[in-house]
Structure 1
């Protein structure tokens, strides 16, 4: 919030911002937009329509693809642990919503536990260890990003359970792609970096062009079938 207000004091032609938490940043972002400053949101939305464009992948669609993967690959009754992102962040809410939409029927594919790992590997290890202890017969782990998924892989390896549990992540991180290729993770979903596209969108606005309110960047599902071809193409 302070950084945005400082930039406003210094003078800016456009604001590109990725809201860490939607609710807390909504007022200041809305204020800039209402002052006539083009606002390009990267990755994450705010709790209002006071912005010029939101640039990023469709988190609901990514979550839905992950859910459909589970529904296709695992029998009814499969137990799922979810390692969520930061509570309140739009990406967290959307990746959770999409996943539930993808599995379709939570009575058939049951999410037995869900806790926030805050998109951090260390925090994910902590919360996943507790969820795994309480649910030792889990079959699927759905993590809202690859850092947390890789943390879960480490916990499962140490517990001797990795071969019995499929771990799914989001982002397309190089380490995760390698993990899929090695057979440790089941899948990851590429979240394209929005910086370049966001900058181009801002330049278009400043040059008087009209841009879409929502600019969706494409994703790619990475599984054992294509992981080797994707090695080195992440971040």
Structure 2
């Protein structure tokens, strides 16, 4: 395993400094890098990720998210804010308000750059729709880090993300093992998220590939924004149209929203819930037995790594250009032993939009 070496600690730290600023509270972290970076057919190589211990100056980093409407992006936000504070860099976070707001995201990033951002971290609304913007930003010699969702531009400087194909595949594998070929057919309602987003298309392909040639029959995907009201309506409509459904699988918001519907309709034990990524609501649902399982992509760590990558690029330090935490499945058997603050924000966390 390769470890990246952080900067040496200063010999003295003021007592007024954030008390845990340089503590190894999250690293080294089991991760996987892609070689060569950004290649669709790249090889996954295990690494132990170690960030810098401190930035050499308070770099100005802009972070752009699709929205902060669900706990998933709250978790990524927790990661970027905590790592910015730990490293001693400035961070300003903007959010566009939803996956329909591509033009707003582009405008917000342009404003960030105009206001002096030295690096930009982007959780992309669209896989292809930001490519012209990335080209413009990189032409100004400003690093662009692709976090979580995926951007198709080859001009990004680094990627902090996992394979959502693997996330979807892991969720599908869970069902495939329970219902192999030859068994009684089970019907699955599938809700992968907003159409056109890179992470959604990847997860959709992974999920469908995993259940191919099994007893799992997946209904046509129901796409929609990851707002709770949107997902709730999709689930209600699918249950109405297909009363024989055995599983509801999809985004974390889908699983969270569906819990109430399942209870209200007396479907406990008849319809099980499955998410292909984890949030506090999914985590609690697994602990309470309302949700069967979910792969974990450690979204907090992805946010932390993105800020570290941006800082390394600004300082001319060695950087792993394409890396993400290792994926593992959380279910009732291991949920109590998973370190919560690596994969989720604290229970009482409120969004932090600026670190100075």
Same fold (TM over 0.5): yes
What CA deviation, in whole Å up to 9, does each residue of 1:164-221 have, x standing for no partner? 1221113322221121122111012223222211011111111213433321222231
1:83·1:116 contact (CA, 8 Å) conserved in 2?
Answer: yes
Q: Equivalent of 1:115, from 196, 206, 222?
A: 222
Q: Kindly indicate which of the two structures has a greater share of residues assigned to helix.
A: 1
- Please tell me whether residue 203 in structure 1 is matched to residue 311 in structure 2: yes
- Please tell me whether residue 53 in structure 1 is matched to residue 162 in structure 2: no
Distance 1:85 1:218 in 2: 22
For 2:328, the equivalent position in structure 1 comes to 220
1:183·1:224 contact (CA, 8 Å) conserved in 2?
Answer: yes
2:150·2:161 contact (CA, 8 Å) conserved in 1?
Answer: no
- Please tell me whether residue 42 in structure 1 is matched to residue 147 in structure 2: yes
For 2:91, the equivalent position in structure 1 comes to none
2:189·2:219 contact (CA, 8 Å) conserved in 1?
Answer: yes
- Please tell me whether residue 184 in structure 1 is matched to residue 270 in structure 2: no
- Please tell me whether residue 103 in structure 1 is matched to residue 211 in structure 2: yes
1:174·1:231 contact (CA, 8 Å) conserved in 2?
Answer: no
Structure 2 gaps of 5+ residues are 1-105, 346-356
Structure 1 residues 131 and 139: CA distance shift in structure 2, 3 A:
same
For 1:143, the equivalent position in structure 2 comes to 250
What CA deviation, in whole Å up to 9, does each residue of 1:105-126 have, x standing for no partner? 37x4211232123122211110
Residue 232 of structure 1: CA displacement? 4.8
What CA deviation, in whole Å up to 9, does each residue of 1:42-79 have, x standing for no partner? 10122321201110222111111111110001254221
User: 3-state DSSP class of the match of 2:128?
Assistant: helix
Distance 1:231 1:164 in 2: 31
1:171·1:192 contact (CA, 8 Å) conserved in 2?
Answer: no
- Please tell me whether residue 124 in structure 1 is matched to residue 253 in structure 2: no
Distance 1:210 1:100 in 2: 38
Structure 1 residues 104 and 211: CA distance shift in structure 2, 3 A:
farther
* Equivalent residue pairs, number: 233
Structure 1 residues 231 and 174: CA distance shift in structure 2, 3 A:
farther
Moved over 3 A (4+): 230-233
Distance 2:271 2:309 in 1: 41
Residue 162 of structure 1: CA displacement? 2.5
User: CA RMSD, aligned part only?
Assistant: 1.9
